[in-house]
Structure 1
Amino acid sequence: MQTIKFQLEPLTCPSCIKKIEGKLGKMDGVENVKVMFNASKVKSTFDESKVTSDELKETIEKLGYPVVN
């Protein structure tokens, strides 16, 4: 298992949390997802043999939340 944090552009609404956590949480290999609204960060624990950090980043960006790191 690997843990990664993504810094996002500032989140504008609390519903962003459910949107991101819901989508990433359904991905095969993702164990845990936590969105920190005030810090605009996403922390995820995942099985790197099933999903890559690049795939997680891509998914977040496809939802409309640019990753800045």
Structure 2
Amino acid sequence: MKKATIQLETLTCPSCQQKIEKAVKALAGVEKESVSVLFNASKVKLNFDEEKVSIDEIEKAITALGYEVKKTQVNG
């Protein structure tokens, strides 16, 4: 399992937070309980299985909603 922290553009509404959380949790290979969208920090934190989903696919799911990914950090 890898841990990722994804820095997004500034989030402006709580519904943005819910949309992003739902899209990320829907991806196979993402540990659903680990997904956390930090509204004030505009960050998404999650654990994922690199054999099932790539960080690029996770980023694409977020950008497909119209949110810009500024920076991604993967550990583990």
TM-score with structure 2 setting the length: 0.87
Q: Name the structure 2 match of 1:25.
A: 25
Whole-angstrom distance in 1 between the partners of 2:23 and 2:57: 12
Flag structure 2 segments of 5+ consecutive residues without an equivalent.
72-76
1:33-52 matched pairs, under 5 angstroms? 33-52=35-54
The list of structure 1 runs, each at least 4 consecutive aligned residues, that deviate by more than 2 angstroms after superposition, is none
Q: How many angstroms does 1:17 deviate by?
A: 1.2
- Give the percent of matched residue pairs that are identical in Structure 1 and Structure 2: 54
> Secondary structure of 1:42's partner?
strand
Distance in 1 (alpha carbons) for counterparts of 2:26 and 2:61: 11
Unaligned runs of 5+ in 1: none
Length-normalised TM-score, structure 1: 0.95
SS at match of 2:3: strand
Which residue type is aligned with residue 21 of structure 2? E
Q: Distance in 1 between matches of 2:17 and 2:9?
A: 13
1:7-32 CA-to-partner distances (Å, cap 9, x unmatched) read 11100000111101111101111002
CA apart distance, 1:44 = 1.2
